[in-house]
């Protein structure tokens, strides 16, 4: 049962919480198949989307989700800027909060921005992606998609391939996959796969060994900027070693599924025929994204305060924080 | 000024190799007598140092007083006030003000402010390069005549190796140490915390230990060639400690300092994006903390200095990426240092050596000892006083500390500068809470 | 707080009531032609299944049935004492122009029925909607009435009615629960 006030990440969520989110999301799927794709449950509620990073797909997904629940949705696309220019994030959020939204969806390039807001404003906060930290709704829709197709969410071997270092999708997925009892492989060049990753999953610098006998292969988008910073010499070279094509996919289990959070760079991290092939769940991911976001909005806006006390934002708060010095 | 008798305490004076029950008589701003208990006679004021350490005035050789230019964060006056409240009789302040302290005029300005404040002594540190731009040498000679005690571009590293080399050579002419802020900006530039398991988990860009160690190694290599004196500011990694240890073993004139936050906290203090745990160099791993403690024990690290870096609330209460780097330290240093004696087996004389005679020696200033005839800079430390860190009650203008709410043990009972009590902890009130106040 | 339970319908009583309702439905609708049953989560689902079984036994044809979850149509979630659970709606056939029998365990304020009607309207336009409930306990807050009632049970506001079914609780019965004073 998920009773938290905010959805800031999947780190620290229990198995029961994660599964209940996925179960609830599953029940919302049929609404999108109806003729009248609307239920009145959030009628009169206001959801504000604050997107500091360009994102058509996630933004649209949240907007459709809110509207299908009969909520009013307002989108604010703020230009990416440091807090020294113009209004600070906090002031922007406070101004919005003063207009009494029932939920705030935030995407920001600074890791920790949703946590920062959650401590300071008065409405539920949903993390739509913060820096390289987490993207919880993406991971939830990934898990829902896997379960729909594969039939289970435990004891799977999941290979995540690409720019692990900068990937919030990876971090959210790994938290959830490990909590649910799956094996994670992290695949990529050493420049994008730091030593710390070994504590999170099995590290592979070779695509073929990384996907061998995997049940699920998740490909990450490679951002073109990485070349400029010398993480990679060129996209061509990356693609030669890490692009998922038919031959590489053939090394995974025969019924392995292929996923990608989108948007895909055809030919860079994933070959067209794999992206469009039978094993690909990319379109289902998008469909499930709306259901997941409907479920999250429903649960957070309808949350009963008395039902459960607020759990601290991170379980990993420093033990030194209240330490007696002697 | 009246005479002062400090009686009943345990004197710890490493410079004179004296430790034990001694009384100290202060007359006309100087240590007049150090003698057995009760032998000194009468004085205008008697300070009861029962249960306390009586030590040469503590010197913090790395603080940022923000004046001129950033008076909204701190001024020389409020910084000097925070210093005496923390038990420090002297501080050395860095040059990253606005304008930068790269001329005699700014040096004199700072000195004037400190004389007017008349609290802790304030020794200005001059910039190595004009405007801290890292391109041209500043007029070190002019600043020396105006009163600087060392040179440093601290706040920023000196990325140009040729400039660093020349700085070491040139400052040797004036017997000034070059205090180096070691940070390879290409490796660490965008980082906001240590590069390690916590930065990976939080999705924050990290500053690898190698960014510090590469520069430490470079500067030690330069020192071999240039002569002069190199002082490594805020050492934070095991690798850096090791480099300094080996350089000293080769007889090089390198000294090093560590901050109390680096030996008291690890990168985990960042927790859920607490900007009060953001500073440069960043908090590291527990293995680094162990190496720093070992460095203090074996003398590889000569000095404890706070890197007191006040920032306004608006500069810290933002997203982690955007928050200013640095924390205040003058008013929390002492209990954190005393915890090393109490819990980590550091000898008290080693601690005091790192907080008084050693910094005095690196800066070439008076103080650091309680010999008869020396200036009467004395700190009376109550190692048992318990108190809670309440940032709202700091003497400093700024509140950016990761230690808010901590229960501390140890505090300055009295801070005496030039024979005048500049800070006094009042006797406990009826409810057991000690009151604190400044006195002139 | 202690509670006192009194059984108002035993297993045989439940069975007889459902059998009578099934007959009444078939009589009024002249058989199962064009008839569909929709059970309201959660107990309405099992009761609807039993009615469908009985209809099949009598008529030899099994009418279609579906499940409706009205959580997303409730008007009182802000007063809920527990976080709402959503289990989903499954209606695998068109309802346009059908005679629809809505099935629930207890009719009380009428708000659940109103929510169910709202939900059904989003699925289509049935020719008629009839309401079948096992217990009508009175205290309506909306102008809603049941077409088929297993038992009318006058209750006080501080009492609650609990329906227990073999499929879930191991036995069929209906109990009236009252909080014990003092």
Q: Is the pLDDT of residue A82 over 60?
A: no
What's the first-to-final CA gap in chain A, in angstroms? Answer: 41
β-strand partners of B437:
B424
Q: Tell me the mean pLDDT in the region C143-148.
A: 96
CB contact under 8 A, B203 and A323: no
Any domain includes C55: yes
* Residue reference for tokens 């050789």: B61
Question: What are the structural domains, with CATH classification, of chain B?
Answer: 4-54+373-438 (2.30.40.10), 57-363 (3.20.20.140)
CB contact under 8 A, A40 and C86: no
Question: What's the domain count of chain C?
Answer: 1
C-alpha distance from A193 to closest chain B C-alpha (Å): 10
C-alpha distance from C94 to closest chain A C-alpha (Å): 11
What's the rounded Cα separation, in Å, for the pair C81 and B314? 40
Any domain includes C84: yes
Q: Is the pLDDT of residue C181 over 70?
A: no
Question: What are the structural domains, with CATH classification, of chain A?
Answer: 15-134+285-309 (3.40.50.1370), 136-283 (3.40.50.1370)
Q: Which chains touch C (3 or more CB pairs under 8 A)?
A: A
CB contact under 8 A, A30 and C82: no
Nearest-CB residue to B319 (from A112, A197, A200): A112
Any domain includes C107: yes
Nearest-CB residue to A171 (from B196, B203, B270): B203
Contact with chain B for residue A52, Cβ under 8 A: no
> Dmax of chain A from CA atoms?
67
Q: Which residues of A touch B268 (CB under 8 A)?
A: 316, 318-320
Q: Which residues of C touch A302 (CB under 8 A)?
A: 77-78, 80, 83-84
Q: Which residues of B touch A324 (CB under 8 A)?
A: 406-407
Q: Is the pLDDT of residue B408 over 90?
A: yes
CB contact under 8 A, A302 and C86: no
C-alpha distance from A321 to closest chain B C-alpha (Å): 7
- A vs C: CB pairs below 8 A: 58
Alpha-carbon distance values, A231 to A168, A220, A265, B191 (Å): 18, 15, 18, 16
Q: Tell me the mean pLDDT in the region C48-52.
A: 97
| Percent residues over pLDDT 70 in chain B | 97
What is residue C162's DSSP assignment?
Answer: E
A168 to chain B: nearest residue by CA? B203
C-alpha distance from A180 to closest chain C C-alpha (Å): 21
Dihedral sign of CA atoms B281, B282, B283, B286 in order:
negative
Q: Is the pLDDT of residue C63 over 90?
A: yes
Q: Which residues of A touch B202 (CB under 8 A)?
A: 111-112, 133
C74 to chain A: nearest residue by CA? A41
Residue A77 has phi, psi (to 5 degrees) of -105, 100
Complex ipTM value? 0.87
pLDDT of residue A79: 65
Cis peptide before C42 (omega within 30 of 0): yes
Contact with chain A for residue C70, Cβ under 8 A: no
Q: Tell me the mean pLDDT in the region B76-97.
A: 98
Q: Which of B273, B381, B383, B386 to mutate to test the interface with A (most CBs of A within 10 A)?
A: B273
CB contact under 8 A, B318 and A115: no
Q: Which residues of C touch A35 (CB under 8 A)?
A: 123-124
Banded model confidence at residue B40, pLDDT cuts 50, 70, 90: confident
What's the rounded Cα separation, in Å, for the pair B102 and B99? 8
pLDDT of residue B7: 95
Q: What is the pLDDT of residues B188-214, one digit of tens each?
A: 978 999 999 999 999 999 999 999 999
Any domain includes C163: no
Which residues, other chains included, contact B432 with Cβ-Cβ below 8 Å and sequence gap of 6+?
Answer: none
What's the rounded Cα separation, in Å, for the pair C150 and C104? 11
Chain B, residues 156-185, CB within 8 A of chain A, namely none
For residue C152, the domain's CATH number is: 3.40.50.2020
Any domain includes C74: yes
Nearest-CB residue to C118 (from A30, A34, A40): A40
Contact with chain A for residue C42, Cβ under 8 A: no
Q: B129 versus A307: which is more confidently predicted?
A: B129
Q: Is the pLDDT of residue C74 over 90?
A: no
Asked if residue B155 lies in contact with residue B94, where contact means CB atoms within 8 angstroms, the answer is yes
Q: Which residues of A touch B270 (CB under 8 A)?
A: 318
Q: Is the pLDDT of residue A317 over 70?
A: no
A39 to chain C: nearest residue by CA? C72
Q: What is the pLDDT of residues B338-351, one digit of tens each?
A: 999 999 999 999 99
pLDDT of residue B429: 44
CB contact under 8 A, A318 and B264: no
Q: Is the pLDDT of residue B72 over 90?
A: yes
In the numeric block, which tokens belong to residue B310? Answer: 């006040």
Dihedral sign of CA atoms C26, C28, C34, C38 in order:
negative
Q: What is the pLDDT of residues B6-37, one digit of tens each?
A: 999 999 999 999 999 999 999 999 999 999 98
Contact with chain A for residue C68, Cβ under 8 A: no
Q: Which residues of B touch A200 (CB under 8 A)?
A: 200
pLDDT of residue A122: 86
What's the rounded Cα separation, in Å, for the pair B241 and B364? 24
Q: Which residues of A touch B408 (CB under 8 A)?
A: 325-326
Banded model confidence at residue B432, pLDDT cuts 50, 70, 90: very low
Contact with chain A for residue B336, Cβ under 8 A: yes
Contact with chain A for residue C94, Cβ under 8 A: no
- Average pLDDT, whole number, for chain A? 89
Banded model confidence at residue C182, pLDDT cuts 50, 70, 90: low
| CA angle B138–B142–B148, rounded 5-degree value | 85
pLDDT of residue C179: 81
pLDDT of residue A54: 81
Nearest-CB residue to C82 (from A24, A299, A307): A307
Chain B, residues 23-42, CB within 8 A of chain A, namely none
Is this prediction's pTM over 0.90?
A: no
Any domain includes C122: yes
- Classify residue B31 as exposed, middle or buried by CB count within 10 Å of its CB (0-12, 13-18, 19+): buried
Any domain includes C182: no
Q: How many CA atoms lie within 13 A of B381 on its CB side?
A: 26
What's the rounded Cα separation, in Å, for the pair A173 and A175? 5
Q: Which residues of A touch B409 (CB under 8 A)?
A: 325-326
Q: A80 versus B224: which is more confidently predicted?
A: B224
Dihedral sign of CA atoms B237, B241, B246, B250 in order:
positive
What's the rounded Cα separation, in Å, for the pair B224 and B220? 6
Catalytic residue at A57? yes
Task: Quote the domain boundaries for residue C21.
Answer: 14-156
C-alpha distance from A28 to closest chain C C-alpha (Å): 7
Catalytic residue at B314? no
Q: What is the pLDDT of residues B345-404, one digit of tens each?
A: 999 999 999 999 999 999 999 999 999 999 999 999 999 999 999 999 999 999 999 999
Q: Which of A39, A295, A307, A310 to mutate to test the interface with C (most CBs of C within 10 A)?
A: A39
C-alpha distance from A35 to closest chain C C-alpha (Å): 7
**SS3 state at A142:** helix
pLDDT of residue C75: 77
CB contact under 8 A, A83 and B322: yes
Nearest-CB residue to A133 (from B203, B317, B339): B203
Can chain C be said to touch chain B, i.e. do they have 3 or more Cβ pairs within 8 angstroms? no
- A vs B: CB pairs below 8 A: 109
Nearest-CB residue to A30 (from C83, C88, C118): C88
Any domain includes C56: yes
């Amino acid at each position: 049962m998920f009773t938290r006030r905010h959805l800031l990440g999947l780190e620290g969520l229990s198995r029961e919480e994660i599964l209940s989110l996925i179960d609830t999301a599953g029940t919302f799927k049929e609404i999108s198949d109806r003729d009248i794709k609307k239920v009145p449950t959030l009628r009169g509620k206001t959801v504000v989307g604050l997107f500091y990073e360009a994102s058509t797909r996630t933004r649209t997904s949240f907007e459709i989700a809110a509207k299908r629940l009969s909520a009013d949705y307002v989108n604010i696309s703020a230009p990416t800027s440091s807090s020294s220019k113009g209004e600070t994030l906090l002031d922007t959020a406070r101004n919005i909060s003063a207009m009494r939204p029932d939920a705030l969806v935030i995407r920001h390039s600074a890791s920790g921005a949703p946590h920062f807001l959650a401590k300071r404003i008065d409405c539920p906060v949903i993390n739509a992606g913060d820096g390289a930290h987490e993207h919880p709704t993406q991971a939830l829709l990934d898990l829902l998609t896997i379960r729909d197709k594969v039939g289970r969410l435990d004891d799977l071997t999941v290979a995540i391939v690409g720019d692990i270092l900068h990937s919030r999708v990876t971090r959210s997925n790994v938290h959830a996959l490990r909590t649910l009892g799956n094996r994670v492989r992290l695949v990529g060049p050493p420049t994008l796969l730091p030593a710390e990753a070994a504590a999170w999953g099995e590290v592979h610098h070779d695509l073929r060994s990384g996907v061998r006998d995997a049940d699920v292969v998740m490909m990450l988008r490679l951002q073109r900027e990485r070349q400029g910073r010398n993480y990679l010499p060129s996209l061509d070279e990356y693609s030669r070693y890490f692009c998922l094509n038919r031959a590489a996919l053939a090394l995974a289990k025969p019924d392995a599924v292929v996923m990608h959070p989108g948007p895909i760079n055809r030919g860079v991290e994933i070959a067209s025929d794999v992206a469009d092939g039978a094993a690909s769940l990319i379109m289902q991911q998008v469909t499930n994204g709306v259901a997941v976001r409907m479920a999250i909005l429903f649960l957070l806006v309808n949350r009963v305060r008395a039902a459960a006390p607020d759990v601290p934002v991170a379980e990993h708060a420093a033990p030194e924080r209240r330490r007696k010095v002697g | 000024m009246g005479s002062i008798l400090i009686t009943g305490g345990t004197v710890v004076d490493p410079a004179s190799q004296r430790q034990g029950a001694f009384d100290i008589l202060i007359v006309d701003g100087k240590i007049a007598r150090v003698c057995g208990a009760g032998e000194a006679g009468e004085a205008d004021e008697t300070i009861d140092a029962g249960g306390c350490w009586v030590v040469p005035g503590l010197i913090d050789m790395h603080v940022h007083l923000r004046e001129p230019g950033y008076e909204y964060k701190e001024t020389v006056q409020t910084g000097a006030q925070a210093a005496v409240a923390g038990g420090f009789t002297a501080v050395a302040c860095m040059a990253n003000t606005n304008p930068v302290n790269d001329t005699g005029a700014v040096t004199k300005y700072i000195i004037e402010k400190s004389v007017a404040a008349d609290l802790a002594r304030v020794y200005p540190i001059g910039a190595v390069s004009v405007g801290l731009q890292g391109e041209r040498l500043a007029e070190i000679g002019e600043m020396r005549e105006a009163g600087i005690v060392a040179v440093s571009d601290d706040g920023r590293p000196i990325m140009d190796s040729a400039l660093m080399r020349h700085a070491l050579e040139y400052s040797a002419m004036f017997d000034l140490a070059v205090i180096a802020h070691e940070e390879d900006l290409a490796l660490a530039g965008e980082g906001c915390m240590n590069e390690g398991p916590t930065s990976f988990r939080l999705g924050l860009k990290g500053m690898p230990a190698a960014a510090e160690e590469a520069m430490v190694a470079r500067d030690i290599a330069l020192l071999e060639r240039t002569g002069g004196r190199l002082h490594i500011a805020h050492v934070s990694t095991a690798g850096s400690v090791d480099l300094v240890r080996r350089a000293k073993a080769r007889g090089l004139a390198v000294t090093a300092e560590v901050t109390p936050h680096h030996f008291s906290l690890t990168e985990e203090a960042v927790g859920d994006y607490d900007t009060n745990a953001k500073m440069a160099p960043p908090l590291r791993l527990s293995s680094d903390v162990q190496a720093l403690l070992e460095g203090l024990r074996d003398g590889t690290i000569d000095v404890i200095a706070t890197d007191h870096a006040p920032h306004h609330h608006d500069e810290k209460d933002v997203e982690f990426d955007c928050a200013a780097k640095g924390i205040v330290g003058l008013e929390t240093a002492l209990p954190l240092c005393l915890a090393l004696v109490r819990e980590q087996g550091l000898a008290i004389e080693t601690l005091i050596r790192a907080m008084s005679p050693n910094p005095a020696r690196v800066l070439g200033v008076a103080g650091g000892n309680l010999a008869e005839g020396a200036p009467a800079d004395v700190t009376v430390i109550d190692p048992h006083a318990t108190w809670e860190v309440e940032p709202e009650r700091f003497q400093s203008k700024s509140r950016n500390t990761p230690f808010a709410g901590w229960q501390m043990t140890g505090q300055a009972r009295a801070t005496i500068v030039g024979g005048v009590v500049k800070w006094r902890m009042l006797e406990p009130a009826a409810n057991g809470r000690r009151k604190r106040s400044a006195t002139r | 707080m202690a509670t006192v339970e009194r059984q108002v319908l035993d297993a045989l009583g439940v069975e007889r009531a459902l059998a009578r309702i099934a007959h009444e439905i078939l009589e009024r609708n002249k058989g199962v032609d064009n008839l569909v049953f929709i059970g309201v989560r959660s107990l309405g689902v099992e009761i609807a299944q039993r009615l469908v079984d009985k209809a099949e036994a009598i008529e030899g044809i099994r009418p279609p049935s579906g499940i409706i979850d009205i959580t997303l149509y409730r008007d009182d979630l802000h007063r809920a004492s527990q976080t709402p659970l959503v289990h989903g709606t499954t209606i695998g056939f068109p309802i346009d122009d059908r005679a629809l029998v809505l099935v629930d365990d207890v009719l009380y304020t009428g708000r659940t029925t109103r929510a169910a009607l709202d939900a059904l309207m989003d699925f289509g336009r049935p020719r008629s909607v009839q309401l079948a409930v096992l217990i009508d306990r009175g205290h309506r807050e909306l102008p809603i009435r049941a077409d088929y009632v297993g038992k009318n049970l006058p209750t006080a506001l501080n009492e609650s009615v609990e329906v227990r079914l073999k499929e879930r609780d191991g036995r069929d019965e209906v109990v009236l629960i009252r909080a014990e004073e003092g």
